[in-house]
Structure 1
Amino acid sequence: MPSNILPVFSLLVGTLFIFLGNGLQGLLLPVRGTHEGYSNEVLGLLGTSWAAGFVIGCFVAPQVVRRTGHIRAFSGFGAVICMNVLVTGIFVDDVAWLVLRAVTGFCTAGTSMIIESWLNERSTNESRGAIFSLYIAITLMGVVGGQVIVGMVDVTTPLLFMICGILYCFAILPTTLSKAQSPQPLKRVKLDLRALYRNSPISFVGILMIGMANGAYGTLGAVFAAQAGLGQKMIAAMVSITIFAGAVMQFPAGRLSDRMDRRHVLAGLSLVSAVAGLAVVLFHPMHVYAVIALVAVYGAAANALYPIAVAHANDFAAPEEFVKVSGGLLLLYGIGTIIGPTLGGPVMTHFGPHALFAVTAVAHLAVAGYAIIRSRQRAAPATADKDLYTTAPTAAAQLATPESVMLDPRAPSEGQPSRR
């Protein structure tokens, strides 16, 4: 194992268990909720409440960390998440689930911030890229692994809730037992959304729309699959392959955006996402493997959009503005993930489960259209002036916190000049 990974190995192990629990719980709730007969509106609000709690946590949780320290705060947040998932299995009630899901989102923001700030402080300019890439890989493996577990156990029993609680308990142990010194206090980033829009209108609007589409599918994709007649194992496979395809697609899409106008790549990928989604809407009923194939194409294109939009915004930003720009885009993405499932649930109720992809198609068509318009109003930067493209965990897994921006290898270390 490379020497630069050893100092953060135990923390990365804890990260894996955190995201195993996140992936398991994130898929279990809509599948179990569908079995319990919860309305599409309620199932959509499960995603809305989690995203709202997460966004609030990004602002409030750092204060808890500053007062109690990283290790105590991490243990506290992890314990609350564990208790929440166990209580969710005991009280199968839609209102209780919505409240508990918001609390889980809040605590997840806290645990993520602590992990990311800890990794950033233990990394150097030379190791940050490797650690960041490994961190992304672990988050994706964890989410997909947790979703696969759902396909192995009967969702109508409390067993999956218990397994999820055990995973969160395992996640707490590495940091609790670690002898490593706690990292420095979390950094504060003052966001300026007006300046962000002036910097890159397409990134501003695009990230908001991408968040809406990803939030709608991330929350209601399993509900669509269940109502479309897919079995429990096929639901887990469909949701997982979306993330896997998106992870694979980020690299070729990112490299392509390095060689041409990123807005054209955004438009092209958005159109592919929209066409794949509309095909699901227009040509149902279809064979289950045809549905999964189209959803895989959808996931590959849709989940590659976020990091390209971030890279485009940074193409026009000064080096010292990188953290502020990326933090603002994360906030916009979070707002989008609140809006998406809130709209998607009622649309599915009135027009059927396949209408979920009509919602995502509208968002992706808006991105494509605005990207084309902006490409005619502002010249693309020269290839040599473009910011370094890098993948981002938000694109294929879930929301990220502002602290993940500091872990990004493009972010200059304190006291170090930018590489741009």
Structure 2
Amino acid sequence: MASVIKIYALFLGSALLMFGGGLQGLLLSVRGAEEGFSLTALGLIGTGWSVGFVAGSIAVPMIVRNVGHIRAFSVMAAIGTVTILLNLLWIQDIGWILLRALSGFCFAGAAMIVESWLNEVADNRSRGTVFSIYVTINMASSTLGQLAMSITGTAGYIPFVIGAISFICAVLPTALTSTPQPRPLASAKLDLGLLYRTSPIAVIAAFSCGMANGAFGTLAPVYGYAQGLEAGDIALLFAVAAILGALAQVPAGRLSDRIDRRIVMIGLASFAAVVGLVTVLINPGPGWLMYVLFAAYGFAANPLYAIAVAHANDFAKGDFAKVAGGMLLVLGVGLAVGPAVASLLMGWSPVGLFVVTATFHGALAVTAYLRMQIRRSPESRAPFQPMTTDRPTQESVVLDPRSGSDDEDIPVEHEAPVPEELLATKDAGDVQDRPV
């Protein structure tokens, strides 16, 4: 019973974190457009977040090594709270780009620490259930955060303060947990050689999904604003794409368990490319057709990365964590570059956003088809697992049941634990992460 309470307390912390992140990401795009920021600046705001997130994935394990999990998480939550409040006080494009990078850094660290605690509490039998519930909560909370903008609007200070409250409250479950110190955080390392040897299509899929998702996630709200939508309509438009995308993951993933996953990738990527092209050609104004196109896009685009990870795992031969970790960093590169590229094309027309998504989804479909002519699908495959597509961390990979059991050596590099004799020499007030 105690373990269940600990797990749900951590789920609550993650939900608050994702609620604030969903609200902040959508709010900055729309409010920035209202403030007259250039398209380049709006794109670089998304790029800044992705760069900060990747940097956090690399640097935060070292911070935790030095000060411990609880203090590190408290620092991340505090800086994240200050950052969103500074977004309100310092409304300037360069300032928001820098603050968004800092926000991405803190978000990566906070998410990794929550996931580390979940890794500690979950055992082999419950890992799959915990991972599935965690992914579902993250998707739902992020979507609710986006929908909250339809209530708060974008004007004034209220949406920023609500986001700040959500971030700072996320620290409470981890600060009050009685779970002992988790294993050291996983250090993100890029092994492109291993990733490419394992599955060349995985590299293309990770980068293509990053480019398309990064561009869409940052600039789709700007597209809606350019079409004359109000803040509430933009939030609903974005939520429709997110909800349909989340619902599509399970049926698409289960289908990929039964047939060659690349066939599913070809179908989804082609559909997403067609939706993008249709949007470019007809440029729909406000109305039901825009909602239908966004829903269709989310349905097709959202499951692609998770299926690509599953396909790479089919060939990983025990190196799932290393392969998936490499895909995370390739995805991160795409998430950083995509908004910058799309912002340039949107200077020509708002539908330039969908030129980017159509191009990279089309490239993914063609590459997957060509790889099918070269390599057969393996006979033995691990079951598909749903995943988030824009905020996975190295600890998400460790939590994934496909990484292996607790008793096995997880093939992801971790920082060395603090020696017990060193902790014993510290003053009682300096010892970190004792049960509270």
Same fold (TM over 0.5): yes
Q: Which residue matches 1:299?
A: 298
How far apart are residue 17 of structure 1 and its match? 0.6
CA 232–188 in structure 1, closer or farther in 2 if over 3 Å, else same: closer
4+ residue runs over 6 A deviation:
none
Q: Read off the aligned partner of 1:144 and give its amino acid letter.
A: T
**Compared CA separation, residues 181 and 219, structure 1 to 2 (3 A):** same
- Name 1:34's counterpart in structure 2: 33
1:2-401 residue pairs with structure 2 within 5 A?
Answer: 5-188=4-187, 190-319=189-318, 321-350=319-348, 352-382=349-379, 385-394=380-389, 398-401=390-393
- Cα deviation for residue 417 of structure 1 reads 8.7
CA distance in 2, matches of 1:287, 1:23: 23
Write out per-residue CA displacement over residues 132-186 of structure 1, whole angstroms, 9 at most, x where no aligned residue: 1111111111111111111112312111111111111111111122333221211
> 2: CA distance between counterparts of 1:323 and 1:245?
28
Structure 1 residues 292, 262: closer, same or farther in 2, change over 3 A? same
Partner of 1:414: 406
Secondary structure of residue in 2 paired with 1:191: coil
Look up the match of 2:421. Answer: none
Does the 8 Å contact 2:6/2:177 carry over to 1? no
Question: Deviations 1:371-392 (Å, cap 9, x if unpaired)?
Answer: 101100111112xx01221111
1:190 to partner: Cα distance: 4.2
Question: Contact between 1:90 and 1:158, CA under 8 Å: does it hold in 2?
Answer: no
- Whole-angstrom distance in 1 between the partners of 2:22 and 2:284: 28
Which amino acid in the other structure matches residue 314 of structure 2?
A: D
Structure 1: gaps (5+ residues)? none
**1:415: Cα distance to partner?**
2.0
Separation in 2 of the partners of 1:287 and 1:372?
A: 36
- For 1:50, the aligned partner's letter is W
The change in CA–CA distance for 1:4 and 1:258 in structure 2 (over 3 A counts) is: farther
Instruction: Give the conservation status (yes or no) of the 8 Å contact 1:348–1:356.
Output: yes
What is the rounded CA distance, in whole Å, between the counterparts of 1:138 and 1:353 in structure 2?
32
In the TM superposition, what whole-angstrom CA distance separates every residue of 1:184-241 from its partner, at most 9, and x where no partner exists?
2113454310121111111111111111000000000100011011221110011111
Unpaired runs of 5+ residues, structure 2, are: 411-436
Contact 1:330/1:399, CA 8 A, preserved across alignment: no
**Residue identity opposite 2:31 in structure 1:** R
**Letter of the aligned partner of 2:338 in structure 1?**
G
Structure 1 residue 32: Cα displacement: 0.3
Cα distance in structure 2, aligned partners of 1:405 and 1:153: 35
| TM-score normalised by length of structure 2 | 0.92
Is residue 4–residue 127 contact of structure 1 (8 Å, CA) maintained in 2?
no
> What is the distance in 2 between the residues matched to 1:183 and 1:95?
38
- Per-residue displacement from partner, 1:334-371 (whole Å, max 9, x unpaired)? 11101100100010012x11121111000000000001
Q: For the Cα contact (< 8 Å) 1:47–1:341, is it kept in 2?
A: yes
Q: For residue 19 of structure 1, report the CA deviation from its aligned partner.
A: 0.5
> Which residue of 392, 403, 409 maps to 2:395?
403
Shift of 1:259: 1.2
In the TM superposition, what is the alpha-carbon distance from 1:29 to its structure 2 partner?
Answer: 0.2
CA distance 1:122–1:199, shift in 2 (3 Å): same
Shift in CA distance, 265/142, structure 1 to aligned 2, threshold 3 Å: same
- Separation in 1, partners of 2:73, 2:285: 46
Residue 284 of structure 1, CA deviation: 2.3
Quote the offset at 1:3 in angstroms: 7.2
Tell me, yes or no, if the aligned pair for 1:212 and 1:336 is still in contact at 8 Å.
yes
Distance of 2:2 and 2:369 partners within structure 1: 46
The answer to whether the Cα contact below 8 Å between 1:310 and 1:326 also exists between their aligned partners in 2 is: yes
Aligned 8 A contact 1:230 1:288 in 2: no
Matches of 1:110 and 1:287, distance apart in 2: 38
Q: Distance in 1 between matches of 2:2 and 2:265?
A: 38
Q: Which amino acid aligns with 1:332?
A: V
Q: Which amino acid is 1:125 matched to?
A: N
Write the deviation string for residues 8-35 of structure 1: whole angstroms up to 9, x where unpaired.
Answer: 1211111111011000000000100010
CA distance in 1, matches of 2:132, 2:265: 23
Q: Distance in 2 between matches of 1:299 and 1:5?
A: 33
